[in-house]
């Protein structure tokens, strides 16, 4: 064998069984999206670089896959830039396109570009791959699918309520019970930053706070000090570190901490609204939890922040996330369009379902029945029956070669085919079919009508 071919780091091939399982997840998410009134759109896999660059922070820019310009791109680079040997500066001269990093920013671009054709509020869903030049690890790939649903053009908090229900509906249908939908509000985080005198360090502050359950209180305080947040400010956070209990009691504690911050109180009010509504509407299998440390990244969230974690017995990062972003289309020049949306991480959900054995058996079934090939006349006779079966939506096929019986039966086993039909001289003469159940081993002779109804 020559050198083995390979695929790039962090990418995967999917075999038939994996594709079936992935489609199962897609189909459930799509179904729920549509019952909630979302409509599908698609956008190109690559965008103009300036659409993407600068939208995800410095770290994000690094993780965007850039596409080299076509042609002799180096010859048009200005000597002064070339001689600097500064990759960042050079990139913008040799790459004007980049692979999309998520679905939210391209969607914002879409809304701005098509604003005159869109009926607001606009509810869209989108299920497409995204790419990140990240180092792979568990549940982290360089090419993966996101399934997003967003609403733009409505500031109503009922949208947030609906998204919590949507998460609950999808995970309930997937039989993935016990997921936790964590919710927080950017206004609360800003409020806290304001109260401790660190408005200007909001991002550093939230990034540190986000690590609380991972690295512990002391390390979080260290990191905050490191980032230049004052000791007196950190002291004021003390009640926050010991914040425990249910939604309502956490809210009460927050009200005292944030009594001086108008913005913080607004955030609390929003959370209370959502929580009250969800309590009245009730969730099927998920639970809604307030988590003040939830600060997950994207710089553009302005209100609610949502994140879904897998049931506690599986080790997996978040399997979904989302939030409210009042200014998203602003960066593309369209003001005052509020949006809110959520995302499902298909690849991670797959890993969780696999680990918990939650894929239905039927997902991996290939065909309903295989006809054993005994020769040319028998094949023709079989294909007439197969035609009939297919018209009845029964998945049927003929083994293509008149190979040994053992080989054909083995093939049926490997492909997990539940039934096999044997048609030889005897059957042709009596115009019947021998139907064999591959699980029990039973077999009986039937006519065509019986065959159809038995397999249906």
Partner RNA sequence: GUGGUUGUAGCUCAGCUGGUUAGAGCAUUGGUUUGUGGUACCAAGGGUCGCCGGUUCGAAUCCGGUCUUCCACCCCA
Q: Which residues bind RNA (CB under 7 A)?
A: 1-4, 6, 8-10, 56-57, 59-60, 62-63, 102, 132, 134-142, 144, 146, 207, 211, 214-215, 296-298, 307-308, 317-321, 343, 345, 347-348, 374, 404-407, 409-410, 412-414, 422-427, 434, 436, 438-441, 443
Q: Whose Cβ is closer to RNA: residue 48's or residue 426's?
A: 426
Q: Whose Cβ is closer to RNA: residue 257's or residue 320's?
A: 320
Q: Least distance to RNA from the beta carbon of 1, Å?
A: 5
Q: How far is CA 109 from CA 34, 97, 106, 115, 325, in A?
A: 23, 15, 5, 10, 14
Q: Least distance to RNA from the beta carbon of 2, Å?
A: 7
Q: Whose Cβ is closer to RNA: residue 110's or residue 131's?
A: 131
Q: Whose Cβ is closer to RNA: residue 233's or residue 345's?
A: 345
Q: Whose Cβ is closer to RNA: residue 243's or residue 306's?
A: 306
Q: Least distance to RNA from the beta carbon of 286, Å?
A: 15
Sheet holding 443-446, edge to edge: 396-398, 369-372, 419-422, 433-437, 443-446
Euclidean distance between CA atoms 352 and 346, whole angstroms = 10
Q: Whose Cβ is closer to RNA: residue 97's or residue 211's?
A: 211
């Amino acid at each position: 064998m020559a050198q083995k071919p390979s695929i790039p780091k962090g990418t995967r091939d999917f075999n038939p069984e994996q594709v079936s399982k992935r489609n199962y997840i897609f189909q459930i998410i799509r179904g729920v999206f549509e019952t909630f009134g979302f409509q599908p759109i698609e956008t190109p896999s690559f965008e103009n670089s300036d659409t993407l660059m600068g939208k995800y922070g410095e770290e994000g820019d690094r993780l965007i896959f850039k596409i080299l310009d076509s042609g002799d791109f180096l010859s048009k680079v200005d000597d002064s830039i070339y001689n600097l040997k500064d990759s960042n500066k050079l990139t913008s001269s040799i790459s004007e396109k980049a692979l999309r990093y998520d679905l939210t920013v391209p969607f914002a671009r879409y809304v701005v570009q098509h604003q005159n054709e869109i009926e607001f509020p606009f509810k869209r869903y989108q299920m497409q791959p995204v790419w990140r030049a990240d180092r792979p690890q568990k549940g982290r790939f360089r090419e993966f699918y996101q399934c997003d649903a967003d609403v733009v053009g409505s500031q109503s908090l009922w949208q947030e309520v609906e998204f919590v229900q949507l998460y609950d509906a999808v995970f309930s249908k997937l039989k993935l019970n016990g997921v936790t939908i964590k919710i927080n509000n950017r206004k609360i985080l800003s409020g806290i930053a304001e109260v401790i005198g660190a408005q200007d360090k909001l991002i550093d502050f939230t990034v540190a706070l986000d690590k609380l359950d991972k690295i512990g209180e002391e390390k979080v305080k260290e990191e905050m000090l490191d980032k230049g947040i004052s000791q007196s400010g950190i002291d004021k956070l003390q009640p926050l570190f010991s914040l425990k209990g249910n939604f309502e009691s956490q809210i009460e504690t927050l009200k005292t901490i944030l009594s001086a911050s108008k913005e913080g109180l607004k955030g609390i009010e929003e959370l209370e609204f959502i929580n009250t509504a969800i309590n009245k509407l009730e969730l099927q299998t998920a639970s809604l939890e307030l988590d003040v440390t939830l600060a997950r990244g994207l710089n553009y969230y302005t209100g609610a922040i949502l994140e879904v974690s897998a049931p506690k017995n599986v080790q997996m990062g978040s399997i979904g996330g989302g939030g409210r972003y009042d200014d998203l289309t602003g960066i593309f020049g369209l003001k005052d369009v509020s949006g809110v949306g959520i995302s499902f991480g298909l690849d991670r959900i797959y890993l969780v379902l696999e680990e918990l054995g939650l894929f239905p058996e039927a997902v991996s079934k290939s065909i309903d029945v295989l006809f054993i090939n005994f020769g040319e006349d028998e094949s023709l006779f079989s294909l007439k029956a197969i035609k009939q079966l297919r018209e009845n939506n029964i998945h049927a096929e003929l083994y293509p070669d008149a190979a040994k019986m053992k080989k054909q039966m083995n093939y049926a086993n490997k492909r997990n085919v539940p039934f096999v039909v044997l048609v030889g001289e005897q059957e042709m003469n009596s115009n019947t079919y021998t139907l064999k159940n591959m699980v029990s081993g039973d077999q009986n002779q039937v006519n065509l009508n019986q065959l159809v109804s038995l397999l249906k």
